[in-house]
A and B are shown apart, each in its own frame.
Chain A
Amino acid sequence: MIYVKAFILCGLISMIGQIILDNTKLTPGHITSMFVVIGALLSFLGWYDYLAEFSKIGSSIPITSFGNALYKAAVMGYEEAGLIGLFNNLLSTTSAGISGAVFFGFLFSTVSKVRD
């Protein structure tokens, strides 16, 4: 059951992304940014916690969890050190994802070639 629940939420989010991609002029970049914003909004409304409780890993795999993490980190920073803490802490929980993307992006670009 735990797998089914994970699949339901993760699959639903991916399906929405695919439908948008197939039917609009938006590119993958537009859609991932949009999902980050939606994730942050859901987090602000407090709904992302319900999704996480229901689907566990299914809620943390899609890019919406990045928005959730951004929002949570910003709130945490604000509570610790006020407005400046909001900016200090904003990227703290997502640091692994961002640094990883930059590092591995560089690493693989050195050994890969473009094709059509």
Chain B
Amino acid sequence: MASFSYQNVYIKDYASIAGPKEKKGKLSFKNTIEDYYNGEQTLEDAEIKMQNFCLEELVEKNKLKNIPLVLGGDLLNQISITSYNLVNKNIPFLGLYNACATFNEALIVLSNFIENTTNPINEGIVITSSHNLNSERQYRYPVEYGCPKKNYTTFTTTGAAAMFLTNKKSNIKVESSTIGTVVDYGIKDVSNMGAVMAPSASKTLHDHLTDLKRNIDYYDLIITGDLGRVGSEIFLKLVEKEHHYKPKKYYDASSILYNEEQETYSGGSGPVVVPLVLINKILKEGKDKKILILATGSLHSPLMVNLKKSIPAITHAVSIEVMK
């Protein structure tokens, strides 16, 4: 029973930046970078710069003086990008890691902080990022190794995103959330993240609806984070077979980022996929009012995979309401 309802948690503002391949994809972004180095010497610096851009934009636009808390994480070892981004900024920081579910994890933790009126934190920022070349090296093989990819492989999305949450009313409300559980179906293939995460997404969806005693039709739109085309098919089959759910409107965020001819195999992946699609598609269009976001994360450690262990997964659910 780890579901929460919130009465006064609102998303006041958000910022995002996307990579060069995402720029040529299906969505249009306000901010993009031209090449993977982003004017820096190393790819890691490029990612830090992207994340810093989002943080700075939120601080400037909202004239924030003292940010009480920043929560976030990324995919690199020891969540170094986020930590290095916050060096000497004099901002209290909690680093989180749940792979590609990190963004939702941060949203849930911060929402709980804000909702609870006994603590002094009533606003804060959640932040995340991922970078294709950094993550492929970290989790699979460096791109320059030239390893051919399987068709069901996902392609790590490049970008960064941040959201500013507060207890003051705005037209986007964080309505409820469910903390996921770790699920392992015994899959060992590091290319097949969709199959690793789909059962976990199905379980969290069921937990969320059961805990809050809701029907699946309550939501205008249900999105999953980065299951890819392969994983989202498995997900739909699973929820129908196990729980007889038929979502009114559903898509997988990572599957709608790229055009077919961009050779991104099964679709995008990474913690930044969810906020990129949320900011640059769902909130921009404003068509859907009640949205359930299932951010899927594969808790994949290269060390454990080398020890021939299977890959566990986790999914966190956050429900967002857009009001007029």
Q: Which A residues form the contact surface with B (CB < 8 A)?
A: 21-22, 25, 27-29, 113-116
Contact = CB atoms under 8 A, between A and B. Distances in A.
Interface stretch (B79-87, B144-152, B170-178, B216-224): B144-152
A29 B146 CA distance: 10
Given A25-B189, A27-B141, A114 B133 contact: yes
A114 B134 CA distance: 10
A27 B43 contact: no
Given A25-B189, A27-B141, A116 B133 contact: yes
A116 B43 CA distance: 12
Contacts of B155: 116
B37 A113 contact: yes
Contacts of A28: 145-147
A18 B189 CA distance: 20
Nearest to A109: B144
A28 B191 CA distance: 15
B10 interface: no
20 contacts: A21-B148, A25-B189, A27-B141, A27-B145, A27-B147, A28-B145, A28-B146, A28-B147, A29-B145, A114-B43, A114-B143, A114-B144, A115-B36, A115-B133, A115-B143, A116-B21, A116-B132, A116-B136, A116-B143, A116-B155
Nearest to A113: B37
Contacts of A114: 36, 43, 133, 142-144
A108 B309 CA distance: 37
Contacts of A27: 141, 145, 147
A36 to B, nearest CB: 18
Contacts of A22: 148
Contacts of B191: 25
A24 to B, nearest CB: 11
A61 to B, nearest CB: 19
A114 B189 CA distance: 25
Interface string B119-163: 000000000000011001000011111111000000100000000
What are the 5 closest A-B residue pairs judged by CB atoms, nearest first? Answer: A27-B147, A116-B132, A114-B133, A114-B144, A116-B143
B36 A116 contact: yes
B39 to A, nearest CB: 13
Contacts of B144: 114
A28 B37 CA distance: 27
Contacts of B141: 27
B162 to A, nearest CB: 24
Contacts of B147: 27-28
Nearest to A26: B147
A27 B191 CA distance: 12
Contacts of B142: 114
B218 to A, nearest CB: 40
A116 B268 CA distance: 13
Interface string B170-197: 0000000000000000000101000000
A21 B145 CA distance: 14
A76 to B, nearest CB: 34
A107 to B, nearest CB: 15
Contacts of B145: 27-29
B139 to A, nearest CB: 14
A115 B137 CA distance: 12
Contacts of B146: 28
Nearest to B156: A116
Contacts of A25: 189, 191
Given A28-B145, A116-B143, 15 more contacts: A22-B148, A25-B189, A25-B191, A27-B141, A27-B145, A28-B146, A29-B145, A113-B37, A114-B43, A114-B142, A114-B143, A114-B144, A116-B21, A116-B133, A116-B136
Contacts of A116: 21, 36, 132-133, 136, 143, 155
B130 to A, nearest CB: 13
Contacts of B132: 116
A47 B290 CA distance: 71
A27 B143 CA distance: 12
